Structure 1
Amino acid sequence: MPAPLHIPTPLLASRPLSLATGRTVWLKMEALQPSGSFKLRGIGLACQTYQARGARRFVASSGGNAGLAVACAGRQLGVPVTVVVPQTTTARALDLLRLEGAEVIVHGASWQEAHAHALSLLDPARDAMLHPFDDPLLWQGHASMVDEVAAAGLVPDAVVLAVGGGGLLSGVAEGMRRHGWDGVPILAVETAGAASFHAATLAGRPVPLDRIDSVATSLGARQVCEQAVQWWRERPVRSLRVSDASALRACEQFLADHRVLVEPACGAALAAVYDAEHAEALAGCQRVLVIVCGGATATLAQIRAWAAQ
């Protein structure tokens, strides 16, 4: 396999969060990936693999970070990319996709409709479909961030991450297993209006939400992948829901503390550490690792407008 398309990201000890919480908080800065989020790790690996198998075009269905990662990977590999996005996709996301050279098709009112249209465009003889979160190649690629943490010598008492469709959770859990961290709990955080993983833990299986009602659109998978639920069955994974307001406050505070702007989906994970009301979820954990998953489609003005609502 050639060199990966993602970059190794910094592992930072957060002085502001450590002082505020009375524990040592480490940040895995995936927001600094070239595409703006952790998605490039798994999607980059998948794109390289599919190209090696003969794919001559990549097709994706995403109005957010997954689509940007496919577009970024395709540009680096010299492979054309078509991204089908729903009508709810922001103008900023469309601009970023086109900046990467992707062909953008707007179709349908939801990701599900955009995904169905993307599937209808596939030419099996030349195309590869890049799913946003449900692909073992993605989990394998995402696991590499844990390799980097382990190589730095850190073994945390807990890992905090945002969960949408479950791709990040599945990849991090895979990486933790290969480093013998099966006893280290994962705190999987969602906003209350996009809590498909929490719903799955109540049902014991993936179940679809009736609707998504959250500004954290990157968490807007109505149903998590089966692999995420399987990890919940096999290892300690705790579900936590936070409010949109809490996630938005965390975005602004993180920008002030670390000079990096992240999306509300990432803000949800940060809120679990910033907000004292969630301290019980990390009780007894002195070394906490937060996956700062990033996100490129939100602006500070948009975050503040959401917060004002």
Structure 2
Amino acid sequence: MAEVSADAVTLDLLREARETVMSSPLGVIKTPMIPWCQTSLPLNINCNIHIKLENMQTTGSFKIRGVANQFARRPAGGHFVTMSAGNYGKSFAYASKHYGSKGKVVMPETAPLSRSILIQSFEVEVERVPTANLMNVVNRCVQDNNMTFLHSYDDLDLIAGHASLGFEVLEVTPNPDVVVVCCGGGGLLAGVAAAIKLSGCDQTRIYGVEPEGACTMYKSFIEKTPVGMETRSVASGLAPPFAGRLPFELCQRYVEGIVLVSDEEIKAAVSALYRSGLVVEPSGAAAFAAIVNEKIQEMEGKTDVCILSGGNIGKDELANIPD
């Protein structure tokens, strides 16, 4: 597929994708948004925050939105390969089984084993490799086995599908002051930011949140070009080996900045959410961690949004989270 620029991401394109996503046979739902003040979650900032519960989405994360749009635009029964630490792989496997497609997920060895087992339960092949070798293995599958690569974050159809989440945020908070979103390769952040900004919310400040040990978008902002690094974090879903090219272009255009949180802050966030009755994985709790640790500027007295992007956490992961 030819490379596309950020100019290709228009409001009409995103609206069309939203219709595709919400009418998908994969069962994508409009997830709840609840006021933070109606929970028992801690907060030291005096502001009006809404929490978007994407951890309650079909397959347990936002990834199904992008996958629904990707698969709707490709022939059923194909032979696809992707790379994923878990959530995209789960949605990819779920869609592959529904559409009768063959699929293979190349996973980093650092991803929880429970994620691999879950993906295999959908009759999709999994190959675990060192993070640095992910793309090499994907390219081998494309060249030697004639498989089609579906990118887990750097893909126009995927990003357009993720934008449906941004439109849902605006239905509840039409002009938010601040929106905080987790960032791995940047697909979700790019889609949400594009939907909000192209809808006319010029004053909304959108922040991405990355782990300190997997800060590819943060470094890309500094270098002004997409970069890679050896990544490692308890939030494995936010630790791809490089930032996406199209997500980077969109984030440069629409995102205020990228902030970093430590693994310890992420673990504490998962624990706090769990104690309040919200099951959220480390990758899905990054935005929450940034807010409670006051990493986001000028939230005081404002209308803000925090996206909890996923809830796929296994017993093996929970066992490593402090009470």
TM-score range, shorter chain: 0.7 to 0.9
**How many angstroms apart in 1 are the aligned matches of 2:256 and 2:208?**
7
Contact kept? 1:163, 1:188, Cα under 8 Å? yes
* 1:68 paired residue number: 90
Contact kept? 1:183, 1:236, Cα under 8 Å? no
Compared with structure 1, are the counterparts of its residues 245 and 144 closer, same or farther at alpha carbon in structure 2 (3 Å cutoff)? same
**How many angstroms apart in 1 are the aligned matches of 2:321 and 2:274?**
16
Amino acid at match of 2:69: L
Compared with structure 1, are the counterparts of its residues 153 and 62 closer, same or farther at alpha carbon in structure 2 (3 Å cutoff)? closer
2:298 is the counterpart of 1:294: no
Contact kept? 2:41, 2:273, Cα under 8 Å? no
**How many angstroms apart in 2 are the aligned matches of 1:273 and 1:87?**
30
* 1:243 paired residue number: 262
The 3-state SS of whatever aligns with 1:190 is strand
Q: For structure 1, which runs of at least 5 residues remain unmatched after alignment?
A: none
Taking structure 2 as the reference length, the TM-score comes to: 0.84
Out of 234, 246, 271, the residue aligned to residue 252 of structure 1 is: 271
Out of 112, 131, 145, the residue aligned to residue 165 of structure 2 is: 145
**How many angstroms apart in 2 are the aligned matches of 1:191 and 1:246?**
9
* 2:289 paired residue number: 271
2:130 is the counterpart of 1:109: yes
Out of 51, 63, 67, the residue aligned to residue 43 of structure 1 is: 67
1:240-269: per-residue Cα shift (whole Å, max 9, x none)?
A: 111111111011111122x22222122221
Between stretches 214-223 and 165-174, larger displacement belongs to 214-223
Count residues with an aligned counterpart: 299
Contact kept? 1:215, 1:244, Cα under 8 Å? yes
Measured on the aligned residues, the alpha-carbon RMSD in Å equals 2.5
Contact kept? 2:62, 2:309, Cα under 8 Å? yes
Q: For structure 2, which runs of at least 5 residues remain unmatched after alignment?
A: 1-19
The 3-state SS of whatever aligns with 1:21 is coil
2:196 is the counterpart of 1:176: yes
The 3-state SS of whatever aligns with 1:134 is coil
Contact kept? 1:161, 1:290, Cα under 8 Å? yes
Compared with structure 1, are the counterparts of its residues 83 and 161 closer, same or farther at alpha carbon in structure 2 (3 Å cutoff)? same
**How many angstroms apart in 1 are the aligned matches of 2:286 and 2:292?**
10
Taking structure 1 as the reference length, the TM-score comes to: 0.87
Amino acid at match of 2:130: A
**Equivalence map 1:189-268=2 (5 Å):** 189-209=209-229, 211-257=230-276, 259-268=277-286
1:121-162: per-residue Cα shift (whole Å, max 9, x none)?
A: 237997432111000001100000122222335321111011
Q: CA deviation at 1:18?
A: 8.0
* 2:116 paired residue number: 94
**How many angstroms apart in 1 are the aligned matches of 2:241 and 2:210?**
12
The 3-state SS of whatever aligns with 1:281 is coil
Compared with structure 1, are the counterparts of its residues 34 and 99 closer, same or farther at alpha carbon in structure 2 (3 Å cutoff)? farther
Q: CA deviation at 1:97?
A: 0.4
Contact kept? 1:157, 1:285, Cα under 8 Å? no
Contact kept? 1:43, 1:70, Cα under 8 Å? yes
The 3-state SS of whatever aligns with 2:74 is helix
Compared with structure 1, are the counterparts of its residues 30 and 174 closer, same or farther at alpha carbon in structure 2 (3 Å cutoff)? same
Amino acid at match of 2:109: Q
Between stretches 259-268 and 165-174, larger displacement belongs to 259-268
**How many angstroms apart in 1 are the aligned matches of 2:261 and 2:160?**
28
Out of 114, 133, 141, the residue aligned to residue 153 of structure 2 is: 133
**How many angstroms apart in 2 are the aligned matches of 1:173 and 1:198?**
16
* 1:11 paired residue number: 33
* 1:27 paired residue number: 51
Amino acid at match of 1:229: F
**How many angstroms apart in 1 are the aligned matches of 2:144 and 2:86?**
25
* 2:9 paired residue number: none
Compared with structure 1, are the counterparts of its residues 282 and 95 closer, same or farther at alpha carbon in structure 2 (3 Å cutoff)? farther
**How many angstroms apart in 1 are the aligned matches of 2:61 and 2:260?**
21
Q: CA deviation at 1:235?
A: 3.2
